[in-house]
Amino acid sequence: MITVLVRVSSGPEALAATLSALVPAVAAGLVGDAVILAHGQDETLVKVADAAGATLIVADDVSWADGAQAARREWLLCLDDGDIPQEGWIRVLDRFVALAPPERGLARFRRHGDGMSGLMRRMFLRSKVHAGDLVHRRVLLNEMKARTPVRLSARIERDPVFG
């Protein structure tokens, strides 16, 4: 099982879109819990988190590491609100989590339209954790250094409503 960390920047509607896309993975036994990372709190955000049974962390400088501290699982899927994993992602992550040693540390989803910016990010920010990464908790807690990420065959797209 994995924990999903969702960073909120577009609001509760984008968060709800991402969380609803995770329901099949919960039913399949892949996703065990979720942690929502927000810079500001509003009543609707609290309601969405509560309805999903997710932990909500609100702080001015909230980070992936804050989510790792609250996570209950060793492997963490980092997403931005509005991210929607595409068909086949559950099988890909389930296999990776079952077979990859913790030392592997980091795996990366493919994104549509990665283009030149994606190439530059892969070249220069290789081991930095981004939305769309599956990362071992110890990497985010600085207990282990991430290796070059494994490129997963699964894709993540942005919900077009949230850009």
CA distances from 116 to 4, 57, 91, 112, 155 (A): 28, 33, 28, 12, 17
**pTM, two decimal places:** 0.92
The values of phi and psi at residue 26, to 5°, are -65, -45
For residue 40, the one-letter residue type is G
User: Tens-digit pLDDT profile for the chain (163 aa)?
Assistant: 999 999 999 999 999 999 999 999 999 999 999 999 999 888 999 999 999 999 999 999 999 999 999 999 999 999 999 999 999 999 999 999 999 999 999 999 998 765 555 555 555 555 689 999 999 999 999 999 988 899 999 999 999 999 8
The pLDDT value recorded for residue 141 is 96
The pLDDT value recorded for residue 41 is 82
Go through the domains of the chain in sequence order and give each one's CATH number.
2-162 (3.90.550.10)
CA torsion 44-47-52-57 (nearest 10°) is 80
